[in-house]
Amino acid sequence: MKHFNLDGTAVPFEDGDTLMDAATRAGHLIPHLCWHTTLGQSGACRLCTVKVDGHLAAACTTRAVPNQVVENRTPELDGKRLLLTQMLFVEGNHFCPSCEKSGHCLLQATAYELGMTEPRFDEFYPKRPVDASHPDLWLDLNRCILCKLCVRASHEIDGKDVFAISGHGIATHLIVNSPSGKLADSAFAKEDFAAQVCPVGAILPKRRGFVVPIGARPFDNALVPALMNAAQEGENA
């Protein structure tokens, strides 16, 4: 097979693979938040930025080429990822101990993986709405990181286009495609792929909060590298 070099290790790839596709399949972690095995390319979060032959590139959108030299887990790149992660935490309202997604949150697990133990910047504490109008699901925009996974899942997999991104700059936010702008008036259903794909606690099922005890949650006993496939494919577990 064809190979590229990832941090000194030869990684096989197939035609059409991105660096992320091949690295993940081979068991290597490239930190990410907006990538999912089932969905197409995005490049939204930039956490997967690597150096390809000395140039910065998003691993989730860059095609693998034979003999590429890819730098991934270097102090420089992990430092940039840590900075991005710290900014995501303070830009929203992420109170991990009281969040139902704690222990099963890719943002939280990635922060631990990168060595984040406390906020670096002053908290924004934005005032964002919580939509509990749907009978089975609720939407908490305080936790949304604008990864666009739900937008893409609803469009690419569910064929419903329930979600979209609106606004610019700091005012960018997730919106619901319905006459009232509420989930209850949309075509959203608990069986939708978009209902399972959120990497944080922004979209959650009702009446299931804290059903998995501490110590049994996916990231309680293993960090991201050991569970990255579970984090991508087991959101509906």
* Beta partners for residue 6, in sequence order: 9, 70
- The predicted model gives 130-152 an average pLDDT of 97
CATH code for the structural domain at 101-233? 3.30.70.20
- pLDDT band, residue 230 (cuts 50/70/90): very low
**184 three-state secondary structure:** helix
pLDDT at residue 218, rounded to an integer: 84
Pick the CATH number of 2-73 from 3.30.70.100, 3.40.50.740, 3.10.20.740, 2.40.400.10: 3.10.20.740
CATH code 3.10.20.740 region(s) in the chain: 2-73
Mean of the per-residue pLDDT values of the chain: 92
**169 three-state secondary structure:** helix
Please give the structure tokens belonging to residue 222.
């293993």
pLDDT at residue 119, rounded to an integer: 85
CATH code 3.30.70.20 region(s) in the chain: 101-233
- The predicted model gives 64-87 an average pLDDT of 97
DSSP for residue 18: B
Sign of the C-alpha dihedral computed for residues 228, 152, 193 and 41 taken in this order: negative
User: Which of the two residues, 165 and 208, has the higher pLDDT score?
Assistant: 165
- The predicted model gives 151-179 an average pLDDT of 96
